[in-house]
Chain A
Amino acid sequence: MKKFLSLILAFAMILSVAAIAHADDLPVITIMFHGSNVSDDSAVLEKVNEYIADKVGAKLEVIWGTWGDFDEKAVNALVSSDSDVDMVFTCSWSADEYNSYAKQGYFVKLDDMIAEYGDALKAAIPESLMQAATIEGADGMGIYAINGFKDTATQNTWDINVTLLNELGYTLDDVKNLGFFGWDEIFAKAKEVKGDSFYPFLVEPMVAERMVTNSVIIAGDSGSVNLLSLYLNPEDVSKDGAYGNVLLNKFATPEYKAFAEQMRKYYQAGYIDPALSVAETSNDARTNHQKEASYLIGTQSYAYGYEYSADVLSRGVEVTFLPCTDPYVDTTASQGAMVAINSASEHPVESFKFLALLNSDPYLMTLLNYGVEGIHYTLDENGLVVFDDAARATYSPWTNGMGNVTILPDTAAEGKGFRAAFQAYYAGAKGIPSLGFVFDNSAVSNEMAALANVAAQYALPLDCGAVDPETELPKFLDALNAAGMETYLAAANDQLSAYLAK
């Protein structure tokens, strides 16, 4: 036992010595990002730390979460109250979901610091985004994360292989006029020309469902398979939809039934790749078909400028994105990428100063995003950013996850004026009537757990047409009811009407 105690003592001493050694230096603040692909950040951080030493009074370190491991890392850091992580990416769709984590006390309320140190920040970020981040958290109504200024509206589009469409003798107008329920003849023609193993309709089934029924994602709803629908007004997104501001069981509406029946027809006619109807093969299959341009009509959640991105250009065909509705601002999109300060952090003020600077200072934003000029990129004669491919391969963070992307310089690939046009495009987007509503599911989380499992069982095959809605849809609805759909729906609607009444 003595041995054991002395071991612990020795250990404690080592720890305290280590702590003292750091004492004279600037405090280290650490930020955890999502979706990055970074293997060497030394050159960038050296410059960053030079720059922020006086302005922030701290040294920055970065934890580069990748797509696959961010969720686990972030939840683990927050739930274990790890004071080594000062700032963390959060949003409406990540595992450390903004609203629920703020409510559970994991994020610092920023209002006081914004008032004290946030003038530049307030000037750089539109009021509407500040508004979208204002929620009822653990420490009262307020802002619990800095909202990134990026593509703040949602817009779903039909992704059209125009080259093939013209080859078949059709035009974009035909696609528009015939509509989702009338594409049989175009698909049949495609199948006839391209052969039996060609699948013209490349859907992301759940996106297709929202596009056809004009429904939006409700923040706080079950994430992997949505259960709730709120119907938009497709003519004017800022007005109420067909059912008003009421949340519906997504799968119990006539709109859904019509969609599922039509998909069944398309699936049985061989217009849809069966691989799309199975959760784990769905995305691989979709990516592959896109790369090969082996599709006629697809679905795409769109962001401004996507036409000019490398992965669309590399398909080698002319692609057009045909929008279903105008871009609309909903809660999900307006909380799409944020950075919060961990309430276990020992340096919240330095962290805030850093975030404020990052979101308002083009030099710092560019440095952290595009790297060091002369190493990771150079400027061409028009002042546009040209990346060095080799250096960029070791340093490419996820731009939209960092904050205010509108202060970035234009790149040569995007062309001059891109960022300004980008900003204008989203500035014009209208909010839906229930903008800002977040469903707090904590009181019905057991129902949600059961419902999510039921929905994961039935929804994808139905959305894809792989099973017969005639027999499967009634079973699905019964299973949902048995799992407590009514309780869940009632809780959601109560909250929505309370929210709208305010």
Chain B
Amino acid sequence: MTTLSPTHRKLRIGSHSLNRFSPGTQAVFHVLLALFSLICIIPFVFVIIISFSSEESIRQIGYSFRPLSWSLDAFAYTFRLGDALWRSYFNSFLITLTGTALSVALTVLYAYPLFRRDYQYRGFFNFLSFFTMIFGGGLVPTFVICKSVLGMSDNYAALIVPMLFSPFNVIIMRTFLRTTVPMELIEAATIDGSGEYSTLIRIVLPVMKPGIATVALLVALGYWNEWFLSLLYLNKNMEIMPLQYLLMRMQRNADFLARNSSMIGADASRAAAQLPSQSLKMALVVFIVVPIACAYPFFQRYVIAGLTVGSVKG
């Protein structure tokens, strides 16, 4: 990488005084960020409290930070879901990991040539991707193609393939490339006789880590939170249902009965009485949030670690 810039060097500025904000300013930053972070985390604490609240308490005073009494029932019930719970957990992991790996690969491969100004067809492929961000065929036609033409139904492919590629992520990735990878770097590699794939893998990817980590994070969150594909494509093979759909089904059952109770009559009351409790739903939310929150620092290492050293090291 010596070809990049002969003057490039790591400067050590003695006092750091010019390169840091004063402690006072930093304190203001801390206060602002801490306040907002708190607002972000409190609702989750609230969810945890509800999941440990007793059903009577929820019935009597609703959702509250200070329930009348505590209970482990919801978690006990969750564990009694047994196989269904662990299997859907496993499915969520499998779908998220496979989907994210494939999707990031596809995104990088698509975004990189679009970033190359010397690529002949970049205008065409750029438009090909961008146009689908705005126009789509709609739910039913997409379903028809995926199911009857591509055979996606009751299999993992149906839960992974429809979300594999996102024009939004391509544009984000391209923007990252534009801001972090200098064209000279690639020109230099080309002159050195490096092949296109080898330039991408050996030279561009290492520099791109923050961008890739960010896009991977967005994709992983998308897969982890996804449930609508399960609703559409899973009919008989419920074994491969992800956790988020397990939760959404409970939620949607309650919503449906709320909207249609006057039409269904006594059956609605009967069905509503059998619905899982609110605390159980919150317990499931906890189950959904915790793993991805734990995985988060992994992505973050690449996003924030870069801050200290800068991306192009001398």
Do A and B contact each other directly (Cβ–Cβ < 8 Å)? yes
| A contact residues vs B (CB 8 Å cutoff) | 11, 14-15, 30, 32, 35, 37, 39, 61-63, 66-69, 71-73, 76, 79-82, 84-85, 93, 151, 154, 204, 206-207, 217, 223-224, 279-280, 282-284, 286-288, 290-292, 300-303, 306, 309-311, 314, 332, 398, 400
Known interface pairs A68-B252, A84-B153; A93-B260 also in contact (CB < 8 Å): yes
Cβ-based interface call for B186 (8 A):
no
Given A68-B253, A84-B153, residue A76 in contact with residue B139 (CB < 8 A): yes
- On chain A, the residues within 8 Å of B264 by CB distance are 93
Q: Report yes or no: B59 in contact with A291, Cβ–Cβ below 8 A.
A: yes
Q: How far is the CA of A119 from the CA of B266 in the complex (A)?
A: 32
The stretch that binds A, out of B26-34, B218-226, B231-239, is B231-239
Q: A76–B140 contact, CB under 8 A?
A: yes
A-B contact pairs, 29 of them (CB 8 A): A11-B150, A32-B235, A37-B274, A39-B84, A66-B249, A67-B253, A68-B256, A72-B231, A80-B140, A82-B147, A84-B153, A151-B265, A154-B265, A207-B262, A223-B263, A279-B258, A279-B259, A282-B258, A284-B278, A286-B261, A287-B269, A287-B272, A288-B58, A288-B59, A292-B56, A292-B59, A303-B267, A310-B270, A398-B267
Asked if residues B255 and A306 are in contact (CB atoms below 8 Å), the reply is no
B176 → A minimal CB distance (Å): 29
Residues of B contacting A204 in the complex (Cβ-Cβ under 8 angstroms): 261-262
Q: Output the nearest chain A residue to B264 by Cβ-Cβ distance.
A: A93
Q: Is the CB of B257 within 8 A of A67?
A: yes
CB pair B249–A280 under 8 Å, yes or no, is no
Cα distance, A123 to B260, chains bound together (Å): 33
B164 within 8 A of A: no
Q: B68 at interface (Cβ–Cβ under 8 A)?
A: no
Which of B84, B256, B267 contacts A400, CB < 8 Å? B267
A63 touches B236 (CB 8 A): yes
CA distance A13 to B295 in the complex (A): 41
Any A CB within 8 A of the CB of B13? no
* CB of B110 closer than 8 Å to a CB of A: no
Considering the chains assembled together, what is the distance between the CA atoms of A310 and B232 in angstroms? 33
| Complex: chain A residue closest to B80, CB-CB | A393
Task: Give the distance in Å from the alpha carbon of A61 to the alpha carbon of B237 in the complex.
Answer: 11
- Known A39-B238, A61-B236, A67-B253; contact A301-B266, beta-carbon cutoff 8 A: yes
Interface residues of B in 53-104 (CB under 8 A from A): 56, 58-60, 84
Write the nearest CB–CB distance from B75 to chain A, whole angstroms.
Answer: 18
CB distance from A84 to the nearest CB of B (A): 7
A62 neighbours in B (Cβ, 8 Å): 236
Residue in chain A with minimal CB distance to B265: A301
Cβ-defined contact, A291 with B235, below 8 A:
no
Question: CB within 8 A of B270: which of A76, A81, A311, A332?
Answer: A311
Question: Considering only CB atoms, which chain B residue lies closest to A91 in the complex?
Answer: B263
A300 to B67, CA, bound (A): 30
Contacts of A69 in B (CB 8 A): 231, 249, 252
B250 CB contacts on chain A under 8 angstroms: 68
The distance in angstroms between the C-alpha atoms of A68 and B150, with both chains bound, is 27
Shortest CB–CB separation between residue B263 and chain A, in angstroms? 4
User: With contacts A76-B143, A292-B60 known, is A302 near B265, CB below 8 A?
Assistant: yes
Q: How far is the CB of A338 from chain B (nearest CB, A)?
A: 14
Cα A212 to Cα B196 in complex, Å, equals 78
Chain B residues within an 8 Å CB radius of A217: 263
Q: Which residues of A contact B150 (CB under 8 A)?
A: 11
Q: Smallest CB-CB separation from B261: which chain A residue?
A: A283
Cβ-defined contact, B249 with A68, below 8 A: yes
Residues of B within 8 A of A223 (CB): 263
State in angstroms the CA–CA spacing of A332 and B259 once bound together: 17
Contact B272 A283 (CB under 8 A): yes
B271 at the interface (CB under 8 A from A): yes
Q: Which residues of A lie under 8 Å from residue B139 when comparing CB positions?
A: 76
Would you call A67 and B256 a contact (CB within 8 A)? Answer: yes
Does B251 touch A at the CB level, under 8 Å?
yes
Q: Is the CB of A311 within 8 A of B273?
A: yes
For B245, the closest partner residue in chain A by CB is A69
Residues from chain B with Cβ under 8 Å of A207 in the complex:
262
- In the complex, A11 Cα to B152 Cα: how many Å? 12
Chain B hits for A37, CB < 8 A:
274
Q: How far is the CA of A67 from the CA of B251 in the complex (A)?
A: 10
Give complex CA distance A151, B270 in Å.
Answer: 15
Other-chain contact of B147, A80, A279, A300 (Cβ < 8 Å): A80
Smallest CB separation, B168 vs chain A (Å): 25
Is A300 in contact with B266, judged by CB distance below 8 angstroms?
yes
Cα–Cα, bound, A309→B58 (Å): 24
Q: Which residue in chain A gives the minimum CB-CB distance to B55? A: A291
- Evaluate contact between B252 and A67: CB separation under 8 angstroms: yes
Min CB–CB distance A197 → chain B (angstroms): 9
Please indicate the chain B residues that have their CB under 8 angstroms from the CB of A306 in the complex.
266, 269
Q: Which residues of B contact A81 (CB under 8 A)?
A: 144
**Shortest Cβ distance from A290 into chain B, in angstroms?**
7
| B150: min CB distance to chain A, Å | 8
Instruction: Determine whether B182 belongs to the interface, using a CB cutoff of 8 Å to chain A.
Output: no
CB–CB A79/B262 < 8 A: no
A279 to B254 alpha-carbon distance, docked (Å): 13
Query: CA A2 – CA B148 in complex, angstroms?
Result: 22
B256–A311 touching, CB < 8 Å:
no
Known contacts being A68-B253, A292-B59, is A80 close to B143, with CB within 8 Å?
A: yes
A-side contacts of B56, CB under 8 Å: 292
Q: B151 an interface residue at 8 Å Cβ cutoff?
A: yes
Please name all residues of chain B whose beta carbon is closer than 8 Å to the beta carbon of A288 when the two chains form the complex. Answer: 58-59
Can you list the 6 inter-chain pairs with the closest CB atoms, starting with the nearest?
A68-B252, A311-B273, A283-B258, A301-B265, A303-B266, A93-B263
**Which one of B147, B235, B265, B272 lies within 8 Å of A63 (CB-CB)?**
B235
